A = this chain, B = another copy of it.
Amino acid sequence: MNITSKEIAELCGVSRGTVDRALNNRPGINPETKDKIMKVAEQLGYRPHFLAQSLVKGKTMSIGVVIFDINNRLFPQLIHAMDTRAREHRYFLYLALTDKDPETERECIRNLADRKVDGIVLLSVNKGKEFEKYVGQFNIPVVTIGNRVGPTIPYVWINDRKAMQDSVSFLVAKGYEEIIYVSPPIGHKESPKTNLYTMEQRLLGFKESVKRAKGVSSTIVTSKDYYAELEQLIRSSRKRKVILCTSDIYALRIMQHLKQAGVSIPGDVGLMGFDDIDTLEFVTPSLSTVSFSSNEIGRLAIDSLIQAIAGEDAEMNTVIGHRVVERQST
C-alpha cells in the first residue's frame, strides 16, 4: 500500500543500495544521483517502514513504561514528563498500567520484551531477588522509580527517608509534642511480597528521627480504618499534637473527616501530608507537605534509561531534591 525503497529504486533506475545511501545520507554516492532520488522520494511521500528498519537494526525506538499506581496523583505529571523527554529523543512510550497486580506486572514486562522495546521504566509492586532476576533475564535496560527493586537496577527518586526526617524536624521545631504517624496499608492485594519500598523508607526515617527527638512522643497508625483510632488519640492528652501522613491523599481524607467532626486544624491538631499533589490547591486550610518534582523524576528516568540503552553505564542512584512546605495546616 505504501511506497517502498524498492519502488523508488526502480523509478530512478538504480539499485536499492543506492537509494539507501541517498535516504540515509551515507557517503559514497554521486550528488546528482542522490538529488534525483531524494526528489522522487519526496514527491511520492516516501516514509521508511519502521518495522522493517527496527527488525534489521535491532532497535525499536520504543520505551516501555510499567506503572502500578494510576491513582497516585504523580502519575499524570510523571507520564507527561517522560513522554516529552522520550519524544525529544525520538522514542515513543508504550504504557502499561498494572493495577498493583504482580502477575500483570510480570506479564507486561514480558510482553514489552517480546515487542523488543529498547528499555523499560518500572514502578513495581514486585520485589526481591527472584524478581530482580526475572527482570534481568530479558537483557533490556531497566530504570526503576519509586520502589527500588534491587542493587543492580538504576533508581531515580527522592530520598524518602531523609524527607521524612526533615518533616519530623520541622514539626518538632514548630513545637509539636506528639506526632501521630498515619501509614495505612496500600494495595488491593497486600501481601508480604508487595514492594513497599518508599513507604518503608518513610517509616524508617520517621522512627529514626523520633527516637532522636527528646521529649516528643509518637504513635504509628497503620490500620485500614484509621479514623476511629485517630479520634481517640486526639483526645488522649493535653500535648500539642500533629498528624503526619505518608501521603497527601490520607491527609485530605482525614481533613474532611475532622472538619465534619468539628475538630479545628491546626488549632486542635496539626496535619501534614506528603507529595504535594496538585489537588492541594483547592483545599482549606492549605496543607503542609513535602514537595518534589515529578517532572524532574520523569525526565531523569528517561535520561538514565537512554544512557543505559546507549551502552554507557547509567547512574545507579539518582536522587532529586525535596523540600518541606509549610502551609496553614501546621
Contacts and interface: CB of A to CB of B under 8 A. Distances in A.
Given A76-B75, A97-B80, A282-B282, A51 B60 contact: yes
Interface string A71-97: 100011101100110010000111111
Interface centre among A71, A75, A92, A255 (most CB of B within 10 A): A92
A80 B97 CA distance: 7
Given A75-B76, A76-B76, A115 B96 contact: no
Interface string A248-288: 00001101100100000000000000000001011110000
Interface in A44-86: 47-52, 54-55, 60, 62, 65, 70-71, 75-77, 79-80, 83-84
Interface in A198-244: none
Interface in A95-120: 95-97, 99, 108, 111-116
Contacts of A108: 87
Given A54-B51, A284-B256, A70 B80 contact: yes
Contacts of A96: 83, 87, 92-93
A302 to B, nearest CB: 13
A55 B28 CA distance: 30
Given A1-B139, A92-B94, A95-B79, A50 B282 contact: no
Contacts of A71: 76
A252 B97 CA distance: 29
A273 to B, nearest CB: 11
Interface of A: 1, 47-52, 54-55, 60, 62, 65, 70-71, 75-77, 79-80, 83-84, 87, 92-97, 99, 108, 111-116, 139, 252-253, 255-256, 259, 279, 281-284
What 3 A-B pairs are tightest by C-beta distance, nearest first?
A252-B282, A51-B55, A95-B95
